[in-house]
A and B are shown apart, each in its own frame.
Chain A
Amino acid sequence: MKFALIPVAIVALLGGFFAYKLTQPRNDFVQSAMVGQPVPAFVLPPISESRPGVQTADLRDGKPKLVNFFASWCLPCRVEAPFLDRLEREGATIVAIAISDEGEDVDRFLAEFGNPFARIGDDENSQIQLEFGSSKVPETFVVDGEGVIRYHHIGDIAERDIPVLLRELEKAGQ
């Protein structure tokens, strides 16, 4: 009889613990460790004649920006292209970093899918991408005027991400 009460106690204990856990706030998404960190120091040459290259100083000119990692060979990048155009029309400054790409391929990509980028750097060995804490294309960072990463978007940008990114840009500008 007394021993038989032990399972009841275990259930009560576990139940109480779970109830406590349920009331605790938690993070619902994985955040990049780079959020809140300054961007790495880098100088990237241009990859396309249409736009200049990118270096760290460009990201510290006092204006918040989007930094978009893309590649002409990346299929989701094609899917997100129209939404980058939209963001640019809404006033976002977008700096691009092309990953493992060739100049002609990038030109062809921009001709076909539009060119909303202010600058495009050539990150041939993904070195700068890794230092940004990014591992895939496409990925997009919100960087404030001081060159500090404020937000990290993984994957392609879809319709519903536009207001989020605009809001993060505005926040980064304050």
Chain B
Amino acid sequence: MIAELGLAALWMAAALAALQLVAGAFGVRADSILVDMARPAAIVQALLVMGSFTALLYVFAVTDLSVALVASNSHSAKPFIYKVTGAWGSHEGSMLLWVTVLAMSGALVARFERRLDARSLAGTLAAQGALALGFYAFLLFSSNPFERLATPVPEGLGLNPLLQDIGLAFHPPTLYLGYVGLSVAFSFAVGALLTGRVDRAFADAMRPWVLGAWVFLTLGISAGSYWAYYELGWGGWWFWDPVENASLMPWLAATALLHSVSVLSSRGGLRTWTIMLAVTAFAMSMLGTFLVRSGILTSVHAFAVDPERGAFILVLMVLYTGAALGLFAWRASAIAEGQRFAVVSREGALVVNNVLLSAILAIVLFGTLYPVATEAFGVRVSVGPPYFNPVSAMFFLPLVLVLLVGPLLRWKRDRLDRIAKPAIAAAVVLGAALVGVAMLGGAGLLPALGIALAVALGVASWMPLKGRRLRYVELSVWGMVLAHFGLAVSLFGAAADSGFSKETLAASAIGDIMAIGPYEVELTSITPVAGPNWTATEATMLARRGGASYELHPQSRSFWQPQQQTSESALLGSWNGQLYAVIGEQADGGRWQVRLWWKPFVTLIWLGSILIALGGVLALVGRMGKRRKRDRARARTARQQAELAAL
């Protein structure tokens, strides 16, 4: 019964999305009674689809095995939390979650957006309706999450054990919040293209959505990276796996968009470019979804779904992106040119930032699609870290270089000699750090450059606060400082890890001692252990460092429903790095494969990305606070004028 209600709510939500599309589209051209329907349609649609998603959560929570999706993705013996997260662990469920978040953000725009003129808002809501409608069609015609089984099964098939992890359970929804935030930016861009109004009101309306999306993407990507680090047992934190790239590409576009929209908002420049980026960012979200779900790519994440669904997402992607870009081609000339600026200016630095970010995006896109393309000609290649690492570093390191001075430049026009002092200071720090790393020895050129740049940026990122009274610095400036500092922290962790990691692979008998980094590790015992739906061999290791000793318990787990092996690495953190232990197969003569890594400063990678996201949150809160203050000031002026008029 609950499942049928969920399905009915989904149909009604789809009908309202259609109404929203039509009403919004009429609203762009002229006033019409239909216009007033777009807003309530968006709000009611969101309520309905939220009800539908709640129904899905319910059937998963009670393990209703007469629902096909539950039967194939859940199991009565599963811990309760994973029963609930199983609701979006599957293809259908995650698509429903996607459209739910989409509709909710559409409702927020409809309810709270006051800056945009009525016609642009109508266009935005129409675009949101069109987006939602496509996903509803997908769910209702191709991936119905509420489909019943003709004969209920006695037991479910279980959730992919790799997904039975608290980090991964919340990783996809976090990314979706990011993707969907970008869809709102896309809708704003379409609305602006329809009316030709690309102004500050537009930038102010779009900016919080881009910021929010970017914060969620940042968090989602770094959570996924940390998951890959401790769960896959490979000891790495970024593999350039196609599925990782699928979320990195929208993030790169969103980062560029974030900076260009700030130029538009503060200075009124980069108009068409901002629109273009907004369309690109969402196109990358769609492309990511398509690549992950069509089965076109082979990846460790193996989401492989049937081609029919892939075709559906492909059609949506081409339709949305193609239509928006077509609209762009048709209307771009109608968008008034923005404010001009000199090459040496804050805008100039941000343009360089955008160009470099776009170049990295192009590199990642190319590397991700290249193997797919060559496969069509019968050649199987695998593009991995040997391509991505040096090529992206070639653009990423100059990007950090620009970051050293960019935030110090003034808007519109500046003189290089004004920032000569801090620039020289940055160069000195950079040189000193480079010499320091070279003296340590052992690191390659790119890691050494990375560490030096990280140190220089770590210092330079605080420069915009210099000489200002900290109490009066705007929250959004703090946000920028914190995000740039976070980038320095992440870069430091990544470069230190790639330059100074140590690895040992040994076939160890009980009692053997291995030396790695600052530790001596003894394999003390191996015992079988059992969990709710897995069995494992668990090693006990004793790690000694400077008189202190710590116990480590890596496991090699076997899940039986579905059958799958995973390794649970054991991590031992200290102030200057992590010891990472993995237990493998049993080798001959009672020996066990043991893999140990010493990873200096590796945790800084994720600490930095949390700082980056926090910077985004500060900027977001700062924007909102500023807006509230401005609104209040406007209301006061209006009241005073009214009082004057009354006199």
List A1-15 residues whose CB lies under 8 Å from chain B.
1, 4-5, 7-8, 11-12, 14-15
Contact status A76-B588, CB under 8 Å: no
**Chain B proximity of A67: nearest CB distance (Å):** 19
Which of A7, A22, A156 meets B307, CB within 8 Å? A22
Q: Which partner residue on chain B sits nearest A76 by CB separation?
A: B558
Select the stretch in B87-95, B117-125, B132-140, B319-327 that faces chain A: B319-327
Give chain B's interface secondary structure class.
helix
Q: Which partner residue on chain A sits nearest B320 by CB separation?
A: A11
List B540-573 residues whose CB lies under 8 Å from chain A.
558, 560-561, 563-565
B373 is an interface residue with CB less than 8 A from chain A: yes
**Which residues of A are found within 8 Å of B332, using beta-carbon distances?**
1, 4
Contact status A76-B560, CB under 8 Å: yes
Contact status B560-A15, CB under 8 Å: no
Q: How far is the CA of A135 from the CA of B317 in the complex (A)?
A: 41
Select the stretch in B6-14, B145-153, B289-297, B463-471 that faces chain A: B289-297
Contact status A22-B588, CB under 8 Å: no
Q: How far is the CA of A8 from the CA of B561 in the complex (A)?
A: 46
**Which residues of B are found within 8 Å of A14, using beta-carbon distances?**
369
Contact status A100-B325, CB under 8 Å: no
**Chain B proximity of A11: nearest CB distance (Å):** 5
Q: How far is the CA of A135 from the CA of B325 in the complex (A)?
A: 51
Q: How far is the CA of A19 from the CA of B307 in the complex (A)?
A: 10
B372 is an interface residue with CB less than 8 A from chain A: yes
Contact status B373-A17, CB under 8 Å: yes
Which of B279, B333, B565, B590 meets A155, CB within 8 Å? B565
Q: How far is the CA of A17 from the CA of B374 in the complex (A)?
A: 12
**Which residues of B are found within 8 Å of A93, using beta-carbon distances?**
none
Q: How far is the CA of A126 from the CA of B586 in the complex (A)?
A: 10
B474 is an interface residue with CB less than 8 A from chain A: no
Q: How far is the CA of A11 from the CA of B538 in the complex (A)?
A: 50
Q: Which of A1, A8, A23 has the most CB of B within 10 A?
A: A8
Contact status B322-A8, CB under 8 Å: yes
Residues of B in contact (CB 8 Å), total 42
Q: Give 1 or 0 for each of B349-375: 1 = CB within 8 Å of chain A CB.
A: 000000000000000000001001100
Q: Which of A11, A14, A15 has the most CB of B within 10 A?
A: A11
A109 is an interface residue with CB less than 8 A from chain B: no
B642 is an interface residue with CB less than 8 A from chain A: no
Contact status B304-A28, CB under 8 Å: yes
Residues of A in contact (CB 8 Å), total 33
Q: Give 1 or 0 for each of B586-605: 1 = CB within 8 Å of chain A CB.
A: 11111000000000000000
Q: How far is the CA of A18 from the CA of B290 in the complex (A)?
A: 10
Q: Give 1 or 0 for each of A20-41: 1 = CB within 8 Å of chain B CB.
A: 1111101010000000000000
Contact status A71-B586, CB under 8 Å: yes
B535 is an interface residue with CB less than 8 A from chain A: yes
Contact status A100-B587, CB under 8 Å: yes
A125 is an interface residue with CB less than 8 A from chain B: yes
A158-B563 contact given A15-B318, A22-B314, CB 8 Å threshold: yes
**Which residues of B are found within 8 Å of A12, using beta-carbon distances?**
318, 322
Contact status B586-A15, CB under 8 Å: no
Q: Give 1 or 0 for each of B129-167: 1 = CB within 8 Å of chain A CB.
A: 000000000000000000000000000000000000000
**Which residues of B are found within 8 Å of A19, using beta-carbon distances?**
311, 314
Q: How far is the CA of A17 from the CA of B564 in the complex (A)?
A: 34
Chosen A-B contacts, 5 in total, with CB atoms closer than 8 Å, are A8-B326, A22-B296, A22-B314, A26-B295, A100-B586
List residues of chain A with CB under 8 Å of any chain B CB: 1, 4-5, 7-8, 11-12, 14-15, 17-24, 26, 28, 71, 73, 75-76, 79, 100, 124-126, 135-136, 155-156, 158
Given A14-B369, A15-B314: 9 more A-B contacts, CB < 8 Å:
A4-B328, A8-B329, A17-B376, A26-B295, A71-B586, A75-B558, A76-B563, A126-B587, A155-B565
